[in-house]
Amino acid sequence: MGKAIRIIAGLGNPEDKYERTLHNAGFWFVDALARKNGGNFKYEKKFDADSCRIKLHGEEVWLVKPQSYMNNSGQPVRGLLDYYRLGVNELLVAHDEIDLPPGTTRLKEGGGHGGHNGLRDIIQHCGPDFLRLRLGVGHPGEKHQVTNYVLKRGSSDAEAAIERDIDDAIAVMPELVDGDISAAMKQLHTKEQAEE
């Protein structure tokens, strides 16, 4: 049993031109979670983040979208953790993952940033001991193409796969707010194997 999740940060870039880019998959996730649970994001200047509070499985959970651009996601997240007196082990960060294909989602406890600048900045401000929701967006094939790739829209098939991944991830949120990370991981992984 891990620590119950009380704050979920989705990573992305704030301008409209980035809204449907692959790099904003973390924003897509928290937006979907807010829609399904009656949450309305509001900009909070003191955090430089859009945030809202929802009830998930009977528990209050904060949803956060840093508005500081991907590479500076750490300070808004740290500010919210400190303000609400929450530990880093109560944080879930949802982000795009180029090392997984669309249609694959993984939960991961702790670890490095894997070259993801949003994670790198959060680790710098908060340490590495938070849970990650890795939303597969695929890899362009060449390292030098990654930035250009994630800052564009994916194919319609890729977008549809990511949306399905988001639904699958939302389905395991009750386990995460109960602190049962292993059950959430098992449920997510088993569902994906069944779909293959």
Which residues are catalytically annotated? 23
Decide: helix, strand or coil at residue 106.
strand
Cβ-in-10-Å burial (0-12, 13-18, 19+) of 159 comes to middle
Bridge partners of 132, per DSSP, are 93, 108
Bridge partners of 53, per DSSP, are 62
Beta strand spans in the chain (E): 7-10, 42-44, 49-56, 59-66, 91-97, 105-109, 131-136
What is the rounded distance in angstroms from the CA atom of residue 107 to the CA atom of residue 113? 14
Distance of CA 128 to the CA centre of its chain: 15
